[in-house]
Chains A and B, each alone.
Chain A
Amino acid sequence: MSSITLETHADRSKMEVSDEVAIEIRGMNKWYGAFHVLRDIDLTVYQGERIVIAGPSGSGKSTLIRCINRLEEHQEGQIIVDGTELTSDLKNVDKVRSEVGMVFQHFNLFPHLTILENCTLAPIWVRKTPRKEAEEIAMHFLEKVKIPEQAHKYPGMLSGGQQQRVAIARSLCMRPRIMLFDEPTSALDPEMIKEVLETMVELAEEGMTMLCVTHEMGFAKEVANRVIFMDAGQIVEQNEPEEFFNNPQNERTKLFLSQIL
Chain B
Amino acid sequence: MSDLSYVRAEMLPERAPPASQVGFVGWARQNLFNGVGNSILTVLSLIFIWYVVSFLLSWAFSPTWNSASLSECREIFGAESGHHAACWGVINDRWQQLLFGFYPNGSEEGTSDLRWRPILAFLLLFVAVTPVLFNMISRRMNWVLLCAVLGLTSLYLGGALGIVVGLALIAAGAAIGYKALTADKTARAAEIEAGAKRLPNPLIFSAIYPFIAPWLLWGGSLWLPIGAALGFVIGYFVFRFLAPIAGSLVGMIVAVLVALVWWLLLTVGFADLMQSIIPIGLEPVESRDFGGFMLSITIGVVAIACSLPIGIVLALGRQSDLLIVKALCVGFIEFIRGVPLITLLFVASTLLNIFMPPGTNFDIILRVLIMVTLFAAAYMAEVIRGGLAALPRGQYEAADALGLDYWKAQRLIIMPQALKISIPGIVSTFIGVFKDTVLVSIIGLLDPLGLSNAIRADQAWNGVVWELYGFIALLFFIFCFSMSRYSMYLERRLRTDHR
Task: Give, as a whole number of angstroms, the nearest-CB distance from B410 to chain A.
Answer: 12
Are A121 and B398 in contact (CB-based, < 8 A)? no
Chain A residues with CB under 8 Å of B400's CB are 69, 71, 97
A71-B400, A174-B402 given; A154·B499 CB < 8 A: yes
Chain A residues with CB under 8 Å of B403's CB are 94, 97-98, 122, 126, 174
Q: List 29 A-B contacts (CB under 8 A).
A: A69-B401, A71-B401, A97-B402, A98-B402, A102-B398, A102-B401, A104-B398, A108-B394, A108-B398, A109-B398, A110-B395, A110-B413, A110-B417, A111-B496, A112-B417, A112-B420, A121-B404, A121-B413, A122-B402, A125-B404, A125-B408, A126-B408, A154-B497, A154-B499, A156-B497, A156-B498, A157-B498, A171-B401, A171-B402
Are B499 and A126 in contact (CB-based, < 8 A)? no
B405 at the interface (CB under 8 A from A): yes
Are A121 and B496 in contact (CB-based, < 8 A)? no
Contact size range, B? 20 to 34
A165 at the interface (CB under 8 A from B): no
Residue from the list B394, B402, B413, B420 in contact with A126, Cβ < 8 A? B402
Interface string of A86-108 (1 = CB under 8 A from B): 00001000100110111010101
- Most chain-A CB neighbours within 10 Å: which of B397, B402, B413, B494? B402
A97-B402, A102-B401, A126-B402 given; A112·B494 CB < 8 A: yes
Interface string of B364-396 (1 = CB under 8 A from A): 000000000000000000000000000010110
- How many residue pairs link A and B with beta carbons under 8 A? The number is 71
Are B496 and A156 in contact (CB-based, < 8 A)? yes
Chain B residues with CB under 8 Å of A156's CB are 496-498
Cα A170 to Cα B397 with chains together (Å)? 14
Cα A101 to Cα B499 with chains together (Å)? 30
Task: Give, as a whole number of angstroms, the nearest-CB distance from A235 to chain B.
Answer: 23
Are A97 and B496 in contact (CB-based, < 8 A)? no
Cα A54 to Cα B476 with chains together (Å)? 64
B412 at the interface (CB under 8 A from A): yes
B416 at the interface (CB under 8 A from A): yes
Contact size range, A? 20 to 34
A94-B403, A156-B498 given; A110·B420 CB < 8 A: no
Q: Point out residues on A near B: beta carbons under 8 Å.
A: 69, 71, 90, 94, 97-98, 100-102, 104, 106, 108-112, 121-122, 125-126, 154-157, 170-171, 174
Residue from the list B397, B402, B420 in contact with A121, Cβ < 8 A? B402
Chain A residues with CB under 8 Å of B417's CB are 110-112
Interface string of B488-499 (1 = CB under 8 A from A): 000000101111
Cα A57 to Cα B384 with chains together (Å)? 35
Cα A170 to Cα B416 with chains together (Å)? 19
Apart from A97-B401, A125-B404, A174-B403, 17 more pairs, CB < 8 Å: A69-B400, A94-B403, A104-B394, A104-B397, A110-B395, A111-B417, A111-B496, A112-B416, A112-B417, A112-B494, A121-B402, A121-B404, A125-B408, A155-B496, A156-B496, A156-B498, A157-B498
Chain A residues with CB under 8 Å of B397's CB are 71, 104, 108
Interface string of B86-116 (1 = CB under 8 A from A): 0000000000000000000000000000000
Are B404 and A122 in contact (CB-based, < 8 A)? yes
Instruction: Give A167's nearest chain B residue, CB to CB.
Output: B398
Cα A94 to Cα B401 with chains together (Å)? 9
Are B398 and A110 in contact (CB-based, < 8 A)? yes
Q: What are the 6 tightest A-B residue pairs by CB atom distance, in nearest-first order? A: A156-B497, A108-B398, A108-B394, A154-B496, A98-B403, A122-B402
